[in-house]
Amino acid sequence: MTVIFESDQPVSKEARGSVAVLGNFDGVHRGHVYLLQQLRQQCPDLPLSVITFEPHPRQLFFKEDAPFRLTNAKERNAALTEQGVDFIFQINFTPEFSSLSAHDFVHQILHEHLGVAHIACGECFAFGKGRSGNIDYLSSETQSLGIGLTVVKPLQDENGNISSTRIRHLLKEGQPVQAAELLGRVWSIQAIVQHGDKRGRTIGFPTANLSLGEHVEPKCGVYAVKIALPDGQIRIGVANVGYRPTFTQESECRLEVHLFDFDQDIYGQELKVWLHAFIRAEKRFSGLEELKEQIVKDASDAKEFFNTLK
Ligand SMILES: Cc1cc2nc3c(=O)[nH]c(=O)nc-3n(C[C@H](O)[C@H](O)[C@H](O)COP(=O)(O)O)c2cc1C
Ligand SMILES: Nc1ncnc2c1ncn2[C@@H]1O[C@H](COP(=O)(O)OP(=O)(O)O)[C@@H](O)[C@H]1O
């Protein structure tokens, strides 16, 4: 079982002396998994830990930017748990923390607070105030403290490095299948079902409405989806991501999910929704009837997609 430590929590004795992998781990994609595997192989006798930051540093430095995350903290930690990481050190990325010097980060955080035995990061990792701590600096400091260091080359495919940025682009372009290849699993969002305009049920397609929260906005349109309910049931359905231009040009992008062969009140429940395939772009219809006709077709396309998967 993975144990999570936040900044202000004391680190237990068992969690000291780990091999710690540093990074944001947004998405916990194939490149991240590769990095973890390398370190597990290299230091099989040490507990494996991840040192990560919350919020994502970009969320602090570029507050006005649109949401961009592949995984929020909960989803990232769940994905790391699935990888068998022993400890997650989740550092509260505050303005104070961001102004810590590279020297203090290594001495106070890595050495004194976390007591790491060995650290690892990707080639282009930089840290400390103004990103002043680079790999050369890390190498000389860790050596003087007796901490091991491994720098891992990024995992690549024929189009370059596997990266969170590439996966975000693929989702924004409506390519969930290609995104899943880099991620190593189908991309999903976990969120609580909210109340909407109560219009869905009047056209025979009730939709569970989810806010995207911190997540990147995938291409607006219709997707074939799988849904996990809190009781563990997995269902299939069809979903719309977007602003519903037929009714109003609303300001919030929503993920609206219609579950097939399902008729229960699930307001307030947490769903996990996997975006399996992109079906079509969102558009403005002349009215409810025209929209309904199209949704009937979308539902049939989504069912067809899952049938061909079998
Ligand atoms: C499969 C599917 C496709 C949809 N496509 C569109 C669309 O292209 N344009 C649009 O304005 N709304 C679209 N919608 C959104 C509907 O407008 C929305 O679900 C409906 O208004 C119900 O909203 P409510 O859940 O707030 O009651 C789609 C919904 C579903 C389930
Ligand atoms: N097959 C289904 N798919 C999605 N939600 C359903 C389904 N059957 C019942 N529901 C319930 O109906 C609600 C959606 O109905 P809808 O009329 O679209 O209202 P709202 O605008 O509040 O989302 C969901 O939040 C859920 O509680």
- Residue 304, pLDDT above cutoff 70: yes
Domains of the chain with CATH codes: 3-161 (3.40.50.620), 188-309 (2.40.30.30)
- Residue 1, pLDDT above cutoff 90: no
Q: 209 CB under 6 A from ligand 2?
A: yes
Ligand closest to the CA atom of residue 247: 1
How would you classify the pairing of strands 234-242 and 156-157? unpaired
**Residue 55, preceding peptide bond in cis (omega within 30° of 0):** yes
Q: Each residue of 265-276: pLDDT tens digit?
A: 999 999 999 999
Percent of the chain with pLDDT over 70: 99
Q: Are the CB atoms for 124 and 161 separated by under 8 Å?
A: no
- Residue 119, pLDDT above cutoff 80: yes
Q: 264 CB under 6 A from ligand 2?
A: yes
Q: 254 CB under 6 A from ligand 1?
A: no
Rounded to two decimals, the pTM is: 0.95
- Residue 249, pLDDT above cutoff 80: no
**Which whole number is the average pLDDT over 89-118?**
93
Tally of CA atoms within 13 A in the half-sphere of 110 that contains its CB: 30
ipTM of the assembly? 0.95
For ligand 1, mutation pick of 244, 252, 305 (most atoms within 8 Å of CB): 244
DSSP one-letter string for 229-291: -TTS-EEEEEEEEE--TTT---SS-EEEEEETT-----TT-EEEEEEEEEEEE----SSHHHH
For ligand 2, mutation pick of 202, 207, 257, 260 (most atoms within 8 Å of CB): 207
User: Which atom of ligand 2 sits closest to the CA of residue 266?
Assistant: 27
Q: Are the CB atoms for 3 and 15 separated by under 8 Å?
A: yes
Q: 256 CB under 6 A from ligand 1?
A: yes
What is the b/e burial string over 250-269, where b = at least 16 CB atoms within 10 angstroms of the residue's CB? eeebbbbbbbeeeeeebeee
Q: 271 CB under 6 A from ligand 2?
A: no
- Residue 243, pLDDT above cutoff 90: yes
Question: What is the rounded average pLDDT for all residues in the chain?
Answer: 94
CA 165, CA 180: separation in Å to the nearest integer?
A: 13
Q: Which of 289, 274, 269 is nearest to 209 (CA)?
A: 269
pLDDT score for 148: 96
For ligand 1, mutation pick of 246, 285, 290 (most atoms within 8 Å of CB): 246
**Which whole number is the average pLDDT over 168-177?**
98
Q: 209 CB under 6 A from ligand 1?
A: yes
Provide the token pair at 81.
Answer: 């748990």
Q: Are the CB atoms for 129 and 100 separated by under 8 Å?
A: yes
Tally of CA atoms within 13 A in the half-sphere of 266 that contains its CB: 25
CA 47, CA 31: separation in Å to the nearest integer?
A: 20
Q: 53 CB under 6 A from ligand 1?
A: no
Q: Which of 194, 217, 200 is nearest to 291 (CA)?
A: 200
CA 142, CA 207: separation in Å to the nearest integer?
A: 53
SS3 content of the chain, % helix, strand, coil (to 5): 35, 25, 40
Provide the token pair at 53.
Answer: 């930051």
Q: Are the CB atoms for 237 and 227 separated by under 8 Å?
A: yes
Q: Which of 163, 94, 151 is nearest to 125 (CA)?
A: 151
